[in-house]
Amino acid sequence: MKDLTGKTIIITGASRGIGAATVRHLAALGANVVAAARSKAALNYVVSEVTETGGKAIAQACDVADEAAVRALIERATDEFGGLDVLVNNAGLIDPIARIEDSDPEAWSQIVDVNLKGVYYGMRHAIPAMAGDGTIINISSGAATGALEGWSHYCATKAAVLSLTKCGHKEHGDRGITVVGLSPGTVATDMQVQIKDSGINPVSQLDPGVHIPAEYVAKAIAYLCTPAAAQYAGTDFSIKTDEGRAAVGLPPVV
Please check whether the domain covering 8-245 is classified as CATH 3.40.50.720: yes
What is the spatial distance between Cα 228 and Cα 198, in angstroms, rounded to a whole number? Answer: 38
Task: Evaluate whether 99 touches 93 at the Cβ level (below 8 Å).
Answer: no
For residue 132, what pLDDT is reported? 81
Residue 177 sits at φ, ψ, to 5 deg, of: -105, 125
For residue 199, what pLDDT is reported? 87
In the sheet with 32-37, reading across from the earlier edge strand, the strands are: 56-61, 32-37, 8-11, 86-89, 134-139, 177-183, 236-238
**Identity at 128, one-letter amino acid code:** P
Low-confidence ranges of the chain (pLDDT < 50): none
For residue 188, what pLDDT is reported? 80
Residue 120 sits at φ, ψ, to 5 deg, of: -60, -45
Known catalytic residues are: 154
The alpha helices in the chain, defined as continuous H runs, are 17-28, 40-52, 67-81, 105-111, 118-130, 152-172, 190-198, 214-224, 242-248
Quick one: which of 186, 191, 192, 177 has its CA closest to 212? 186
What is the spatial distance between Cα 215 and Cα 84, in angstroms, rounded to a whole number? Answer: 23
For residue 1, what pLDDT is reported? 60
For residue 210, what pLDDT is reported? 84
What lies within 8 Å, CB to CB, of 243 at 6+ separation is: none
For residue 206, what pLDDT is reported? 84
